[in-house]
Structure 1
């Protein structure tokens, strides 16, 4: 799955020589955008969903592995495990506007508390580090070794490490560690189902024993409620109001499930896909080895469009367009 490929890819990109560009093609400010962080060649790809137009790639000079767009809808924050800062770019200006000194080790980031804070997963310090939107570090909470997956719900941050068999829980208001619970080994990818108070977690497997199951845990007591077959290596999830969509990268399969786990449909998609988002009423999948962005209708589970992006799309980052108030 993607963090297994991550170590190889980062080592590869470390040998690449990239030019440092002072400016890039601006990204239109009012459009809904789908972007990918591509780690095989250190580029960022953009697709304007309203204009149905692929925009020029940005060639960056650092091995970023992920990013997020801040609430101003213009600032694109990029980070990487081997990068000593989180770098901020203005989409509308097409240039870097600031850098935050984070040190190396950042492998994931999530906007929390209604977008007022950023939680960074730091694998060098085995902690979750909290920053405000001005780049000031406000708190740090120690976790299990090598935190990776982050999910937020009801003032709690759920933290999963691929190498540990324990779910970490942080109270976001007080930045205190709450009691966690044991989970299956080599866990990866997760989604919260608030209605049922469940946490669905996938996995990669260990050694020759690949994971074929989704594990569903009760958030009240941490007990395993049931398991759902979704071979092979269910590693990422997204959902809409009716269904949960699971991406199993070992079989290049997208599964459509009801909230009770009933399998509704499936689709072969991409080559080595492990990144999925629900955006603009569509399912968006990135194929790591096919270097494409695949747009899928969630009702019919049919592919509507394939777009070529940079090599090795590792994370999808989206932005909703601004409404035209003159209408």
Structure 2
């Protein structure tokens, strides 16, 4: 009898501990704050920045090795994913709690909320597919890609999705209306990062390089035919792009350099920012750049490339997401 009671007590304690871990609470984020959040992959934390005050608010210490995030259209739900994580997990910012999980299996390395706002494209490297989910976590359709897909880029007017593979010299094109794969075209090896100029039918693609050859150029292709057009020097390893007001900002993490180009590819200005930066966003007239090895965020004026402020975050900021106040 005593042994049975003992077993029941142990069982209840285990259930309690598991439930407590599952419902771990975090400091909440007020709904009226404009925030940036960094996913820090070296120490498994999230850092939250108040964009109005330009200061760090707090950190969340996470239990899983997340590498990326998406803020859903409600402005409160933070979706987190990682290649070694079995699920995509959703957290409420205002409650500071996990509210849902989607069973995806391991392999998710990138994600994007499509312009329609009702569908999310997840990049699955284990299956070599782009998987499309609705906001309830139900998988709607999927498309096979080349080996190890990584970068995805949406053509808003043409309703297409471009997919770069890190291991294959071919770009995959997906028709988002017909929900099927179109004819792709050949590109350079070890491609990563891209910018689309729909008006000029150009796609600019960067990369890391292949073998001992470090990538020093941006490769420009006709976005429809796939014909190679020209190269633009941006040493070294140009891997992130943002276009704005006839300017194109290029982040080359091999030299920790930020380039400001015109849409023809002519260099207007450049600065060194952070240490080994991977990620950058543009909010109004400010660039936000994450220094992966310097563990910081840099706020840079997009007009003159002057650094406005630098803020320390967790270790290894790998991605930035932003929620602007309504």
1:179 aligns with 2:183: yes
Cα-Cα RMSD: 1.1
Q: Deviations over 1:136-192 (max 9, x none)?
A: 011111111111101111211110011110000011112111001000011111011
How far did residue 111 of structure 1 move? Answer: 0.9
How far did residue 242 of structure 1 move? Answer: 2.5
1:52 aligns with 2:54: yes
Q: Distance in 1 between matches of 2:251 and 2:22?
A: 35
1:307 maps to 311
- Secondary structure of the residue that 1:235 maps to in structure 2? strand
Residues 20 and 60 of structure 1 are in contact (CA less than 8 Å); yes or no, is this contact kept in structure 2? no
- Secondary structure of the residue that 1:92 maps to in structure 2? coil
Residues 256 and 274 of structure 2 are in contact (CA less than 8 Å); yes or no, is this contact kept in structure 1? yes
Q: What is the number of equivalent residue pairs in this alignment?
A: 304
How far did residue 107 of structure 1 move? Answer: 0.3
2:231 maps to 227
How far did residue 21 of structure 1 move? Answer: 6.9
**Contiguous gaps of at least 5 residues in structure 2:** 1-20
**Contiguous gaps of at least 5 residues in structure 1:** 1-18, 323-327
Residues 55 and 311 of structure 2 are in contact (CA less than 8 Å); yes or no, is this contact kept in structure 1? no
How far did residue 274 of structure 1 move? Answer: 1.3
Residues 23 and 98 of structure 2 are in contact (CA less than 8 Å); yes or no, is this contact kept in structure 1? no
1:268-283 mapped onto 2 (5 Å cutoff): 268-283=272-287
1:244-283 mapped onto 2 (5 Å cutoff): 244-283=248-287
1:24 maps to 26
Residues 273 and 289 of structure 1 are in contact (CA less than 8 Å); yes or no, is this contact kept in structure 2? yes
Q: For 2:67, which of 60, 65, 68 is the aligned residue?
A: 65
Q: Distance in 2 between matches of 1:194 and 1:33?
A: 30
Q: Deviations over 1:36-59 (max 9, x none)?
A: 000000000010111333111000
2:170 maps to 166
Q: TM-score, normalised by structure 1?
A: 0.91
2:11 maps to none
Residues 147 and 166 of structure 2 are in contact (CA less than 8 Å); yes or no, is this contact kept in structure 1? no
Q: Deviations over 1:1-33 (max 9, x none)?
A: xxxxxxxxxxxxxxxxxx877111111212221
Q: Distance in 2 between matches of 1:239 and 1:124?
A: 31
- Secondary structure of the residue that 2:255 maps to in structure 1? coil
Residues 106, 158 of structure 1: CA spacing in aligned structure 2 closer, same or farther, 3 A cutoff?
same
1:100 maps to 102
Q: Distance in 2 between matches of 1:321 and 1:254?
A: 28
